[in-house]
């Protein structure tokens, strides 16, 4: 009799505190593929602009990006929806695919620290 190792479901990291430093640390640890774009965006939108009024918009964008990217399955699903919509020849189907991806992105924005 062969015993198979139980496949464990990957644990999705919780959302960090809602500030740029904590978000960058979480991206570095759990979604490093986002880090170059995060840093580049921070540099031109906040640091080089000398304008902290842009931080809320910056945080909203990257909060949602990280909320999706921290879950590889969800990230793959959203990417698949958007790719299928781009290749779709049926307008109604493409619209439905993009609406589903958009709904997921909006839900990601509503995530709270610790979730």
Report the domain count for the chain: 1
Contact of 27 with 66, CB cutoff 8 Å: yes
Top pLDDT among 3 and 49 is at 49
Residue 99 within a domain: yes
Residue 11 within a domain: no
Residue 79 within a domain: yes
Residue 15 within a domain: no
Residue 9 is predicted with a pLDDT of 67
Query: What whole-number distance in Å separates Cα of residue 40 and Cα of residue 79?
Result: 22
Question: Distance between the two ends of the chain, CA-based, in angstroms?
Answer: 41
Residue-wise pLDDT tens digits, 34-44: 999 999 999 99
Contact of 18 with 113, CB cutoff 8 Å: yes
């Amino acid at each position: 009799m062969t015993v198979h190792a139980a496949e464990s479901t990957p644990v999705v990291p919780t959302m960090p505190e809602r500030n740029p430093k904590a978000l960058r640390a979480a991206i570095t640890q759990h979604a490093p593929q986002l880090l170059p774009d995060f840093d580049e965006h921070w540099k031109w939108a906040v640091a080089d602009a000398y304008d902290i009024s842009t931080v809320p918009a910056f945080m909203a964008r990257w909060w949602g990006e990280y909320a999706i990217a921290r879950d590889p399955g969800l990230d793959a699903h959203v990417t698949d929806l958007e790719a299928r919509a781009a290749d779709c020849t049926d307008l109604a189907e493409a619209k439905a695919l993009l609406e589903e991806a958009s709904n997921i992105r909006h839900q990601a924005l509503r995530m709270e620290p610790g979730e």
